[in-house]
Chain A
């Protein structure tokens, strides 16, 4: 059986992880490569690196980081942040990234999804969608979830699938940072609507939240940052609990 995936997300700035990470005794918790290896050893199924300060100047730094991660880590990883062209993706895949995640650039120019899936295959194209529920409507937001635009989450999800996205990473701005659980109603609707895998993001606080998002939210994968980085939820224990709840995981 295909298992549900647990995906830690690392925010990167100038080639270093931001936000404190202190889940184990690491000689350098700011080094994304050391952290990535540690996560792979601790049972993470996949990793996401998000370049939160993506600029032209630090692109080279990001490439170096991707290269080092690919060299040393034996599980798949996705790179996102500041990707807006076929060339950007070509560079990252050449450095050894398995998938790339695009967000604002896909909203601004949806053809980018077609171009990427045609050239590199759908399997490496993740479309990240940040959305917020306002008056009963899920609106897509840009720029890290700060700017609302007049596109509805479910319409956009259908469109990105049609254009060749291989996966959707959906972050609920209503839930992100709350540690009160994932947006399972919206997630479940998304999962029924499109036929590509959905990664749930935003709201992880307890083991139960993961159980809920896989059962009620029908998510294929769940992404979280701080609960993993601060050791609040050790990945192996999380997976053991998931298995006890009849959710297929890799252990």
Chain B
């Protein structure tokens, strides 16, 4: 299987590569369109600020390529947020893969949300063998609102969407690569989709 992690300069992707290595898969880090198109599975990571990450995507024209991909794509954290319509962070237009907007938590709660939280209302093959109320590790200040493409929700200030699915596109707000055995299970599920 050819597994690719989109490397567009946004964040720590080494841990994702290592997580797959622990599962016995070598992932290629690349921003080369041909490499990405010829992959069986694609990881779209992201850490940092939305507008600058989007600018980097545009520079390499990956903003055009990613929405056209036909193979399973998994967005992680900011990657998931960039796959949405719009993010309040830096008033950024996203890739529009998920029909939902991304907003900031209010100051009624500590921002960023940092740590382990539960995921519920699990509705996808991505969560095969993962129980309701499983803990995942999250670090984020912005969240996706409730929407029909939701495949998992979490509670912080209110219920929000912590995973999304639309055709071949998947997105998770949490970091499966840092979420212990449950996170590794999810990555394995993605590889087996």
Contacts and interface: CB of A to CB of B under 8 A. Distances in A.
Given A74-B184, A195-B110, A96 B116 contact: no
B140 to A, nearest CB: 7
Contacts of B156: 2
A76 B129 CA distance: 23
Interface in B107-143: 107, 110-118, 135, 137, 139-141
A96 B184 CA distance: 17
Nearest to B176: A74
By secondary structure, the B interface counts as mixed
B181 interface: yes
B184 A93 contact: no
B64 interface: no
A123 B112 contact: yes
A3 B180 CA distance: 15
B47 A1 contact: no
Contact of A1 (B19, B118, B141): B118
Contacts of A45: 115-116
A74 B178 CA distance: 5
Contact of B178 (A71, A76, A166, A197): A76
Contacts of B58: none
Q: Select the residue from A5, A97, A123 with max chain B CB neighbours within 10 A.
A: A123
B14 A76 contact: no
Contacts of A19: none
Interface in A131-183: 166-167
A5 B115 contact: yes
B114 A72 contact: no
Interface in A163-212: 166-167, 195-197
A98 B15 CA distance: 8
Contact of A124 (B22, B47, B111, B183): B47
Interface in B19-54: 19, 21-22, 47-49
Q: How large is the interface on B (under 10, 10 to 19, 20 to 34, 35 or more residues)?
A: 35 or more
Contact of B21 (A71, A93, A95, A122): A71
Given A121-B49, A195-B111, A196-B110, A3 B22 contact: no
Nearest to B183: A74
Interface string A225-251: 000000000000000000000000010
Contacts of B18: 70-72, 96
Q: Select the residue from B49, B115, B140 with max chain A CB neighbours within 10 A.
A: B115
A195 B107 contact: yes
A83 interface: no
Nearest to B114: A197
Contacts of B137: 75-76
A2 B111 CA distance: 12
B179 interface: yes
Nearest to A95: B14
Contacts of A130: none
B107 A70 contact: no
A2 B137 CA distance: 9
Given A71-B21, A96-B18, A98-B15, A3 B116 contact: yes
Nearest to B181: A74
B11 interface: yes
Nearest to A68: B18
Contact of B117 (A3, A97, A98, A121): A3
Contacts of A36: none
6 contacts: A2-B115, A2-B117, A96-B12, A96-B18, A166-B114, A195-B111
Which 5 residue pairs are nearest across A and B when measured between Cβ atoms?
A: A121-B48, A96-B14, A250-B135, A123-B139, A250-B116
